[in-house]
A and B are shown apart, each in its own frame.
Chain A
C-alpha cells in the first residue's frame, strides 16, 4: 500500500436509524498519520460517522474502506459503556486491548505486561491499576479506556469525546497523548469533539460534520475565534 494513499475512504456513505437518514452521501478521504478532529453541533452525526467507520453501524448505501480487517482500530468510547456491576480492575480493562494478540486462551506475555504497565504509567493510572473500574472517577475511567486503546498497537485510533468528563489539566494531558500518537508515532487519530475552538489550536485540518454531511477542511484562524 502506498503511504500516500488515504487510510480510510468513505464513498457515498448513508446511515439511517429506522427511516431517518442521519448521514447523507458522505465522501471522505482520511490521510494516514493525521490528527483529525470531527467537530459539529450535537446531533450532527459525529459519533454516528465514527461508529460507521468502525463498522459498528450498517450502511444503508455506500462503502467504507479501512485497514481494520488486518489491524483493528484502537477505540475509546465514552466511559459510561462499562456497567459498574462488573468486578473488573483497571488493569483488566486495559488488557482487553491485547485481545487481537492474545485471542481466546493465550496468557499475557512479559512484554505485553510491560506494555500495559507503561501505558498505565503514561496515563497516571499506575496506582489505580488494581482498583475496581467502578471505583475510578469519571476522568480516570476515560483514561483507562484510552489506555485500552493505546495498548492495542492499532494504526488508527478513534476516540469519542475523550475529555467530556475530565478537568482542565486531565483534558490537556489526554489531548497531548493523542497528539503524540499522531506526531511521534505516525498513527491516525480521529477524535469526536464538541469544542471547535480548542481543536483548531491543535491541528491544521478538521472534519466538519453538519446536517448529516461531512467534509475535511483546513482550519481558518477565525474558526478558532468562533468557538
Chain B
C-alpha cells in the first residue's frame, strides 16, 4: 500500500496534494456542517458551485470566478431572514438545489461538448488536478483553515447556544455568516476538480464517521480530516490499480469506513453492556 501511495505521489503529485488538501479542509468544516444540521446546505452549495463552473465555461471566464459569484449569491439568499415568510429555509434550499442542478445541465448543453462536461462538473476528477488548480486550492483553503483555527471558539459557541453566545457578547450573525461564506469559497474552489459528489462526501461522510468514533469534539476534529485523507489515499490507489473512476472510488471507501466504524461502535457498546 505504501509503495502504491509513493508511486502515485511521484506520478500525480498535484492530484495527491490536491486530494489531501481538499479532503482535510472539507472534512474539518464538515463537522460544523453536521452539528449545525446544515447538510443540505452542503449539497446545495456544491450543486450551485457546479452550476457556476458551467456558467463560467459558457462565458469564457475562470471557473473559480463563476462558482464563487453564484455560491456567494446563494449564501446571501440563504442568510436572508425568512422567519416572516411562509416558506422554511430548507424548502428555499431545495428550490436553489433544483434550479442549480437543472441549470448546470442546460448551460453545458449550450457550450458545445455536452454530457461529458456535465459529468465532469458533477463528479469531477481529482486525478486530473493541475498545477494551476493546486495554486487556487492553496490560495483559498489555507486561509480558510486559518479562519477555522482562529475563530473556532466564537463559531462553536454561536452554533452551540446562540442566545447564550449573544449574551456573552459574541456577534453571532457575523460568525455564522463568516462560516458559511468561507464554506462557500471552499466549495467554489474545490468544485472544479473534486465535483459536487466528492465535496459532499467530504463534508458529510468523514465527519459522521468521526462522530461515531468519538464523543470528544477535539478528537472528532482530528479524526474527521484523518479519515477523509485516508479515504482519499486508499481510493486513489484502488482506482489506479483497478482502473476505476477516482472520485467515486474515494466516496465508496469513505462510505465503507463509515459502515465499518458504525459496526465496530455498535459492537463495542454491546460488549460494554
Contact = CB atoms under 8 A, between A and B. Distances in A.
Interface string B149-168: 01101100100110111111
A18 B169 contact: no
A143 interface: no
A54 B166 CA distance: 9
B28 interface: no
A54 B163 CA distance: 9
A56 B163 CA distance: 7
Contacts of A88: 160, 217
B166 A55 contact: yes
A72 B165 CA distance: 10
Say what secondary structure dominates the interface of chain B: helix
Given A87-B214, A89-B216, A97-B168, A81 B35 contact: no
Contacts of B35: 83, 85-86
Interface residues of B, number: 25
Contacts of A83: 35, 37, 160
A92 B217 contact: yes
B150 A99 contact: no
Say what secondary structure dominates the interface of chain A: loop
Contact of A75 (B167, B170, B211, B214): B167
Contact of B217 (A72, A81, A87): A87
A173 B116 CA distance: 68
Contact of B150 (A73, A75, A100, A104): A104
B273 interface: no
A82 B157 CA distance: 11
B160 A82 contact: yes
B84 interface: yes
Nearest to B214: A87
Contact of B170 (A68, A87, A99, A132): A99
A97 B84 CA distance: 32
Contacts of A132: 215
Nearest to B221: A87
Interface in B6-25: none
Interface in A1-59: 18, 51, 54-56
A97 B157 CA distance: 10
Contacts of A163: none
A202 to B, nearest CB: 24
Contacts of B168: 72, 96-97, 99-100, 152
B121 to A, nearest CB: 32
B220 interface: yes
Contacts of A86: 35, 160, 217
A56 B160 contact: no
Interface string B195-210: 0000000000000000
Contact of A81 (B151, B164, B211): B164
A181 B165 CA distance: 22
Nearest to A92: B217
B161 A82 contact: yes
A72 B171 CA distance: 13
Nearest to A105: B150
B196 to A, nearest CB: 25
B163 A75 contact: yes
Contact of B164 (A18, A96, A104): A96
Contact of A96 (B84, B150, B161, B166): B161
Interface string B56-97: 000000000000000000000000000010000000000000
Nearest to A99: B168
Contacts of A152: 168
A87 B166 CA distance: 21
Interface string B210-240: 0100111100100000000000000000000
Interface of B: 34-35, 37, 84, 150-151, 153-154, 157, 160-161, 163-170, 211, 214-217, 220
6 contacts: A56-B163, A75-B167, A87-B211, A96-B157, A100-B169, A105-B153
Q: List 9 tightest A-B contacts by C-beta distance, closest first.
A: A75-B167, A99-B168, A87-B215, A87-B217, A132-B215, A72-B169, A72-B168, A54-B167, A56-B163
Given A81-B164, A86-B217, A96-B161, 11 more contacts: A51-B163, A54-B163, A54-B166, A77-B161, A77-B164, A88-B160, A89-B216, A92-B217, A99-B168, A103-B153, A104-B150
Interface of A: 18, 51, 54-56, 68, 72-73, 75, 77, 81-83, 85-89, 92, 96-97, 99-100, 102-105, 132, 148, 152
